[in-house]
């Protein structure tokens, strides 16, 4: 499939009057329609709930839109819990799926009544000491080995730090029941950014079989199965996207085959999707500010890896549209670079693009999840603004850009604060 931006060049020129590049912009209409499709795909399950993985796009305006579409919040830290609380998601609207959890995070999760997902068997004692054991709890499972679909190795859970072994989860259930837990869930995250309709159904099969075993051996009341994140998006043009209806139907088949005959037809399905909910509905908008010709053709833009780390960190592909340029006109093989003193600060390497002029807008696609949120301040770079393209076509700023004062806010130097003096402007 071709990738077309959800904003036009005319809109970008209009936006520029109020908001300079670079910025992240999100498409409210796309977010809502996608969230409704997900809900529809799992409407066969009475208790279905998506807990949006806050780390993907930790902005309360975005979280609020999703909560209006019925989504809870999947949090993994103290500040993510506070974000969930700020939009009114408390109690069972929060799934607290963390690992290596600090005591104060557990304490806040308990105080907010979040559903706690235990990453390890030793966390039972830890949680009991710092916050007490709640009546509802979830345990995270790691089957070890490789996660395969057919002959494809999708990921390597045996090498991942998360979750309990098969033996440990049975032991954890027994201990938790003795400590008064009444309602259980199980969770697992076995492969990331899967672009196949078979991931969730296969994960569901493994978790449903485990749920039946756990119930039969421990007598625990298993009330939900959390399929977590991992449903991906096609970052490359031409990649076949997931069909969420087919995925929902695939999970339903396993449910009917495994849980229903075991008398477990009341189990709710939960998801913790991040990327699938947001990635396609965000763009990083940047402008070409330099062209450099040495051993390669370079286009320097006003965004850098601090605004989008995935290409530098994982070599991830993000599609780029040069706005207003004829795709069939003159083309050049470019490296598109940011300004960090780091040679991996490149949004694209050897990318065949329409010839770019200084001042052209470049739209970097699929940055709505794990984009802004992975930002950092290396080289004294500042985080950009986040904008929301609302359903009526108007644009609202949902986070201002950082200023030097934000960067200096956490220290005093010899008693004085560092600030931008009039002469530095």
d(CA 258, CA 344): 47
Size, binding site for ligand PLP by CB under 6 A: 17
DSSP class of residue 401 equals P
Q: Name which of 295, 423, 421, 299 is nearest 360 in CA terms.
A: 299
Q: Name which of 360, 367, 348 is nearest 283 in CA terms.
A: 367
User: Considering only residues 183-242, where is the footprint of ligand PLP by CB under 6 A?
Assistant: 189, 192-193, 228-230
Q: Which residues are within 8 A (CB) of 106 and not within 5 positions of it... i.e. 6 or more apart? A: 116, 126, 127, 130, 131
Does position 56 interact with ligand PLP (CB under 6 A)? The reply is yes
Element (H, E) at 278: helix 275-278
The smaller minimum CB distance to ligand PLP, of residues 76 and 321, is found at 76
Interaction pattern, residues 258-287, with ligand PLP; x per rule: CB under 6 A: --------------xxxxx-----------
Residue 182 contacts residue 222 (beta carbons within 8 Å): no
The smaller minimum CB distance to ligand PLP, of residues 53 and 269, is found at 53
Among residues 306, 369, 387, 388, which is the contact residue for ligand PLP, using CB under 6 A?
369
Among residues 27, 50, 74, 302, which is the contact residue for ligand PLP, using CB under 6 A?
74
Q: How far is the CB of 107 from ligand PLP (least distance, A)?
A: 20
d(CA 320, CA 300): 14
Phi and psi, residue 157, nearest 5°? -60, -30
The strand pairing partners of 148, in sequence order, are 153
Q: How far is the CB of 74 from ligand PLP (least distance, A)?
A: 5
The smaller minimum CB distance to ligand PLP, of residues 275 and 346, is found at 275
Q: How far is the CB of 194 from ligand PLP (least distance, A)?
A: 9
Counting Cα atoms < 13 Å in the Cβ hemisphere of 366 gives 19
Does position 115 interact with ligand PLP (CB under 6 A)? The reply is no
The smaller minimum CB distance to ligand PLP, of residues 199 and 361, is found at 199
Q: How far is the CB of 55 from ligand PLP (least distance, A)?
A: 6
Q: How far is the CB of 199 from ligand PLP (least distance, A)?
A: 11
d(CA 339, CA 337): 7
Q: How far is the CB of 271 from ligand PLP (least distance, A)?
A: 8
User: Closest-CB residue for ligand PLP?
Assistant: 229
- Cα 271 → chain centroid: 12
- Site residues for ligand PLP per CB under 6 A: 53, 55-56, 74, 97, 189, 192-193, 228-230, 272-276, 369
């Amino acid at each position: 499939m071709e990738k077309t931006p959800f904003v036009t060049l005319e809109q970008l020129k209009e936006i520029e009057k109020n908001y300079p590049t670079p910025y992240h912009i999100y498409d409210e209409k796309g977010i809502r329609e996608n969230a409704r499709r997900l809900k529809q795909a799992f409407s066969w399950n009475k208790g279905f709930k998506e807990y949006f993985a806050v780390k993907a796009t930790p902005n309360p305006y975005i979280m609020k839109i999703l909560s209006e579409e019925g989504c809870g919040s999947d949090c993994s830290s103290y500040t993510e819990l506070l974000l969930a609380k700020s939009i009114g998601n408390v109690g069972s609207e929060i799934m607290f799926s963390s690992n290596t959890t600090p005591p104060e995070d557990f304490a806040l999760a308990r105080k907010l009544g979040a559903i706690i997902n235990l990453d390890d068997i030793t966390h039972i004692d830890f949680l009991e000491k710092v916050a007490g054991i709640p009546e509802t709890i979830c345990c995270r499972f790691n089957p070890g080995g490789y996660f395969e679909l057919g002959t494809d190795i999708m990921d390597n859970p045996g090498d991942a730090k998360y979750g309990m072994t098969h033996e440990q989860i049975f032991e954890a259930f027994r201990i938790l029941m003795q400590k008064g837990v009444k309602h259980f869930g199980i969770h697992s995250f076995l492969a990331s950014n899967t672009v196949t309709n078979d991931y969730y159904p296969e994960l569901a099969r493994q978790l449903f079989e485990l749920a039946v075993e756990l119930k039969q051996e421990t007598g625990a009341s298993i009330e939900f199965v959390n399929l977590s994140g991992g449903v991906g998006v096609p970052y490359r043009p031409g990649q076949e996207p997931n069909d969420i209806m087919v995925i929902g139907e695939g999970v339903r088949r396993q449910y009917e085959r495994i849980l229903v005959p075991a008398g477990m037809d009341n189990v709710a399905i939960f998801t913790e999707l991040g990327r699938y909910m947001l990635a396609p509905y965000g763009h990083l908008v940047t402008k070409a500010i330099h062209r450099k010709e040495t051993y390669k053709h370079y286009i320097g833009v006003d965004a850098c890896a601090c605004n989008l780390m995935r290409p530098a960190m994982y070599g991830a592909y993000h599609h780029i549209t040069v706005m207003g340029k004829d795709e069939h006109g003159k083309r050049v093989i470019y490296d598109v670079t940011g300004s960090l003193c780091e040679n991996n600060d490149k949004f694209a390497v050897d990318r065949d693009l329409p010839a770019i002029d200084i001042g052209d807008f470049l739209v970097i696609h699929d940055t709505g999840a794990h984009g802004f949120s992975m930002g950092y301040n290396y080289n004294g770079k500042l985080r950009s603004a986040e904008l929301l393209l609302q359903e009526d076509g108007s644009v609202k700023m949902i986070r201002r850009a950082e200023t030097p004062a934000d960067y200096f806010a956490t220290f005093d130097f010899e008693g004085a604060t560092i600030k931008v003096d009039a002469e530095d402007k």
